Amino acid sequence: MSVTHSSLPKKFAGIPLKPYLHAFALNRLKLGVDNLRYDIHLSPGFIKAARRMALQLIGQISGVSDLPDYENGFNWYRGEKEFKGLCRDIITDAVKRAKLDNEYQVLFLAKAAIMVAFKEAVNDRYKACLQHVNNQIWRQEMAYNQDQVKHLQEALQNLTRSRDTTIRNANARLFRYLTDVLLDSMNNLYTLHFGPEALLPEDFFANPLLHTENPSNDSFLMAEYVLLGSRREDVNQYDAFLSALNDFLAGRDGEPAAARSADEPESNGSATGSSNPDYTAWIKQESNMDALFNYYRTEQMLRRDKRRTPDKQRLRKLKQVTRLQKRLLTALIKDFNERELTHIVVATEEMKGFCDSYCPPLTPHEVLQYIVDRKSRRPIRAKLKRIKKNYGEDYSLQPIRNCLSRIRWLPRQQKMEILLDFVKTFARYHRDLCNYNLVNHAISYINFVNEETFLRLSRANHSLYEFLLPNEQKPDEMPIISHTVLKADVRGSTGIVNEMKSQGMNPATNFSLNFFDPITSILSRFGAFKVFIEGDAIILSIFEHENQPQNWYSIGRACGLAMNTLLIVQRYNRKNTASRLPLLEIGIGISYSANAPTFFFDQDKRIMISPAINQADRLSGCFKPLRDQAALKQSPFNVFVYEIAAQDQNAAAGQYIRYNVNGIELSDDAFEKLQKEIQMEQLDLKAPGAEGEPHKLFVGKYPTVSGTSHQLVIRQAPLPIISLADLKVTGATGRYYYEVCTNPALLGYIKDLR
């Protein structure tokens, strides 16, 4: 969901604050055959694996191992690793579908579907376990085996008593596996495909509210967050605290927003129900509460830095922040006092130590009501007397009286510390509650489709979102829709061959072991294959197939393959230097065709015909007179292209000449395709060792076949006009050429910048 938010008032300037924003929504996806929900077919194999893992987790968490299909010798390390692998496969398939649809909301749908599958697996296995133990008890009772009946009844009690904890912890573990996979590698893949908008924050699925069966349960709230209410009669209403914090952020130095001057603008309303601007996106960011109010932490940093650093400016800044934070926290507690909320916050904290001894028969909310509301004490005392009379259970009110006394004499400083902890925890709860509501809304639109009739109908209408494991997908070969060609012009091989022969060495094995074999060994990493290889020419190609968007990175991967080829040449040349042999020089050209190539066959040998081969050949070449230009040799760049002046074109073999010495040039079409493949950031900077105006560079990351990502830096350079007579630049064309940058100093410089 696109989130709009107000800017914070100027009084918070100097404090590093940021809103909590993400783009979770499904509104751009295609509805299913019922025109109401999204049709999803989630891998049967993955669901089966989730049920198996859920059962193992239930047994481990509850301590009950006499469960159906429970594996006592389960290898947790291997089992978790395999399950994470399945999560990765499903998400990878979702990326494929999202790339095909050019819509990252498909990823959100896939994650929501996985979440539903996890929760259903845990609930299903838990119910199956209860049913299994009940059946076992019945069988043992029929066999008059009382010892076994007693053992099974204890197991059933353990399962029933720990229901909430077991289900919540099992869900949390399953969600953690998914989050681990996303953080490990998939988030980088999302960014490569769709940019940062496709990412959800790490806390999105680590949300405890998503893991529990009853998010409003008092015991759960007290254990994970703070005790908050939603009923009108509750003294600790969530909305009251949210409104108080929102109004505080809208006010001036802790004054209520109503104290603003008349000329300050009003907003269009807010989530809190007031007329103040909506700052709830800032409240969701837990770190903002520390940044605004935690002067205790800043004072510690100040004391530490006084011992460690002589940076007076930093120390002065910390002092200013400390004073501002202390003033803000003091203003906040004053504001909460006026709203009669501080007493509730302190009571909620102080009752944690003894609340369990009253609950049941009382609820935590009744205990809180007793502490903060005099009017509620008489009916609660009457309730405890009835329980004593009817059941003989006596509940002393002394712990509550002691709590009232502590609260009455609690120092203001301690109340401020309690309030600070409260607003931090409240911010986390507010964030998790908003995310929980978003996910629940999304789940209501999910329709799992499994029957073949509906699967066929939804597929026919192109409305089915399928997320499958690799072994469940059809292996049909898809038609080629486009291809990329890489041509490496190898220079100096003839000299090396002659020199080796003169020394009685074998040039064939030398080239094979140190040059051709290493190149062949890396082709699979980039999805490439050989078109043609001989002594002074290497032509490689990468195909893109229909309905395989996970492999629509032919330009990015060709650039990576070219860079690795240069590394192989450099390693080969180091050996040649040690052996006093001539050095290889190479020029690489990469071209792209948006169509399939033409194939001919010479018996069983396939021959590829494509205009991209001719273009790559031109890009990889080098005009010999330019190779002697000292300025070009000293540049951090390896490719320079010139258009020949009109009066000289008749004397030249073509319209352009180029300097390409151990460089990589991209065609215009290839660069345009690369920008569609990956997200690229434009930088305008002076490269180390280069003269003149800042260079226009494009920086991004491409994925290999295995999914690992690597940086690319592309230089966009103006295409000048040159005179063949003296090799002087005479003008500009207004067009550009493109080079894949490989200079280590430049790449390191850019890496440090980012």
Nearest to 734 by CA among 663, 654, 643, 619: 643
> For 40-50, what is each residue's pLDDT tens digit?
999 999 999 99
pLDDT band at 653 (very low <50, low <70, confident <90, very high): low
Share of the chain above pLDDT 70, in %: 92
- Please give the structure tokens belonging to residue 598: 């033409």
- Record: fold of 480-753: Alpha-Beta Plaits (3.30.70)
| Phi–psi pair at 470, nearest 5 degrees | -55, -40
What is the band of 99 on the pLDDT scale with cuts at 50, 70, 90? confident
* pLDDT above 70 for 4: no
**One-letter amino acid of 12:** F
Q: What is the mean pLDDT of residues 303-329?
A: 85
Q: 7-16, 96-105, 529-538, 588-597: which has the highest mean pLDDT?
A: 588-597
Q: Which helix (H) or strand (E) holds 586?
A: strand 585-593
Band the pLDDT of 289: cuts 50, 70, 90.
very high
* Least confidently predicted of 165-174, 248-257, 740-749: 248-257
Amino acid occupying residue 165: T
Parallel/antiparallel/unpaired status of strands 663-666 and 585-593: parallel
Q: Across-strand partners of 601?
A: 606
pLDDT one-digit tens code per residue, 343-373 = 999 999 999 888 888 888 888 998 999 999 8
Q: Which residue type, as a one-letter code, is found at position 234?
A: D
| pLDDT band per the 50, 70, 90 thresholds, residue 168 | very high
d(CA 695, CA 687): 7
Element holding 591 (H helix, E strand): strand 585-593
> DSSP assignment of 619-665, as one string?
HH---GGGGG-HHHHHSS--EEEEEEPGGGGGGSSSSEEEEESSEEE
DSSP 525: G
Question: Looking at residues 136-162, what average pLDDT do you find?
Answer: 81
Per-residue pLDDT averaged across 573-596, rounded? 90
Tokens 């896939």 belong to 110
Sign of CA dihedral 295, 297, 300, 306: negative
What is the amino acid identity at position 79? G
d(CA 665, CA 668): 10
pLDDT reading at 520 higher than 60: yes
Helices 146-161 and 105-142, packing angle to 10 deg = 150
Looking at per-residue confidence, does 271 or 417 come out higher? Answer: 417
Q: What is the pLDDT of residue 602?
A: 67
Place of tokens 């540049």: 635
- Measured CA to CA, the distance from residue 508 to residue 515 in angstroms comes to 10
Both tokens of residue 175?
Answer: 């969600």
Please give the angle made by the CA atoms of 576, 578 and 583, to the nearest 5 degrees.
Answer: 25
Residues of the chain with CATH 3.30.70.1230: 480-753
Identify the pLDDT of residue 72: 83
Q: What are phi and psi of 722, to 5 degrees?
A: -130, 150
Q: Is the pLDDT of residue 316 over 50?
A: yes
- When pLDDT is cut at 50, 70 and 90, the band that residue 535 belongs to is low
Beta-carbon contacts of residue 349 (< 8 Å; ≥ 6 apart) = 418, 421, 422
Asked if residues 689 and 578 have their Cβ atoms less than 8 Å apart, the reply is: no
pLDDT tens track for 451-499: 888 888 887 788 899 999 888 877 555 788 899 999 999 888 888 888 8
**pTM of the predicted structure, to 2 decimals:** 0.69
Report the alpha-carbon angle 517-523-526, nearest 5. Answer: 155
Q: Answer for the pair 552, 677: CB distance below 8 angstroms, yes or no.
A: yes
252: pLDDT confidence band, cut at 50, 70 and 90? very low
- Residues with Cβ < 8 Å from 474, sequence gap 6 or more? none
Cα distance between the two ends of the chain = 28
Cα–Cα distances in Å, from 538 out to 485, 563, 666? 10, 14, 16
Per residue in 388-420, pLDDT (tens digit) is 877 778 888 888 889 998 988 999 999 999 999
Calculate what percentage of the chain has a pLDDT beyond 90. Answer: 42
Confidence of residue 650 (pLDDT cuts 50, 70, 90): low
Output the average pLDDT for the chain: 86
For residue 197, the model assigns a pLDDT of 81
Please tell me the predicted confidence (pLDDT) of residue 601.
65
* DSSP symbols for 478-519: PPEEEEEEEEEEEESHHHHHHHHHHTT--HHHHHIIIIIHHH
Partners of 480 in the beta sheet? Answer: 545
CA distance 429 to 26: 24
pLDDT at 273: 46
Q: Is the pLDDT of residue 270 over 50?
A: no
pLDDT above 80 for 64: no
Sheet order of strands, 446-448 included: 446-448, 38-42, 464-467
Higher pLDDT, 717 or 272: 717
**Does residue 255 have a pLDDT over 50?**
no
What number is the average pLDDT over the span 735-746?
Answer: 93
Cα–Cα dist 109/122, whole Å: 20
pLDDT digits (tens, 9 = 90+) for 497-509: 888 888 888 888 8
DSSP letter at 36 equals: S
